Amino acid sequence: MRQITAMTIGWTLAAGCAVRASAQVASRAADSVAILALVQSAAAEARRAWDARDARQMFATVPETTVVRTPDGRAITKADMIADLQRRMNMTTRIDTMAGSVDSLRFLGPDEAVVFSSQRFVREMVVPGQQARVRISSVTHRQVFRRVAAQWRVAGPIEESNQRARWADQPEGP
């Protein structure tokens, strides 16, 4: 009969832990790819909506009953959001840059993750009664994803923060 030493048990456990850790890393990598594909798909949909100048496309999956509360307490309905975005789309004569990048992806558990991304948008606009000017805007997005029935899905609306906008002929603010 062969004796199993404490060292053999230790190496066996270590190897088993390494295999599990390796599997977890591979699983997280696959999860990351799936989540980032959802982020890229949403960005592509936004670009198509802007290229078509059709604000309804941006809100196609938003329920009609959606109401957003602004920081000052006003309630904005889906119809209000579409109308406001359509007004800005109608003033846009040229899109120079619509670029986004993922800043971080954090897993909050086995079935939940949050993505922080940044967007920079440079476009020429004609405000009624004014000449064409270039508008530069940027924003940080926070979006939560959950795994449902073995697939990652968006879990709620995108939260925006650090919104900045200026005309290109104005100096940058703090």
Question: Where are the chain's structural domains?
Answer: 6-42+94-167
- pLDDT at residue 147 tops 60: yes
| Token duo for residue 92 | 């846009």
Q: What is the pLDDT of residues 7-49, one digit of tens each?
A: 444 444 455 545 455 556 668 999 999 999 999 999 999 999 9
Phi, psi of 19 (to 5 degrees): -65, -45
Q: What is the mean pLDDT of residues 139-166?
A: 93
What pLDDT score does 54 carry?
Answer: 97
Q: Measured between alpha carbons, how far is 80 from 29 in angstroms, rounded to an integer?
A: 39
List pLDDT tens digits, range 67-118. Answer: 887 778 889 999 999 999 999 999 999 999 999 999 999 999 999 999 999 9
CB 57 within 8 A of CB 82: no
What's the token pair of residue 120? 């920079």
Specify the pLDDT at position 23: 58
**DSSP code, position 5:** P
- pLDDT for 13: 46
* pTM for the model: 0.78
Note whether 46 and 62 are within 8 A (CB): no
